[in-house]
Amino acid sequence: MLEDIRFAAYKSMVLGSDRFIVEVEALTSKRLTEGKRGRSVGRRRVKNNA
């Protein structure tokens, strides 16, 4: 439990049930869950060898 509190405080996340987190996200208009790491995958560029 203490590790969960430390992790949430370090990452600025909310502790609680999924329903509670969704409600807090709706009120604050911010995502409070951890997302995927790294760069988002976009359209890949095609290299021209001309």
Residue 11 parent element (H or E): helix 2-11
37 within a domain of the structure (yes/no): no
Structurally, how many domains does the chain consist of? Answer: 1
Predicted confidence at residue 15, as pLDDT, reads: 85
| Domain membership of residue 28 as a residue range | 1-32
Rounded distance between C-alpha atoms, residue 15 and residue 9, angstroms = 9
CB atoms within 10 A of CB 37: 5
Distance from chain centroid for Cα 33: 4
16 within a domain of the structure (yes/no): yes
Q: Which band of pLDDT confidence, cut at 50, 70 and 90, is reported for residue 5?
A: confident
Q: What is the DSSP letter of 12?
A: T
Predicted confidence at residue 33, as pLDDT, reads: 76
43 within a domain of the structure (yes/no): no
User: Is the pLDDT confidence value at 48 over 70?
Assistant: no
Predicted confidence at residue 47, as pLDDT, reads: 65
Predicted confidence at residue 8, as pLDDT, reads: 80
Question: Over the stretch 18-43, which tens digit does the pLDDT of each residue have?
Answer: 898 889 889 988 887 777 788 777 76
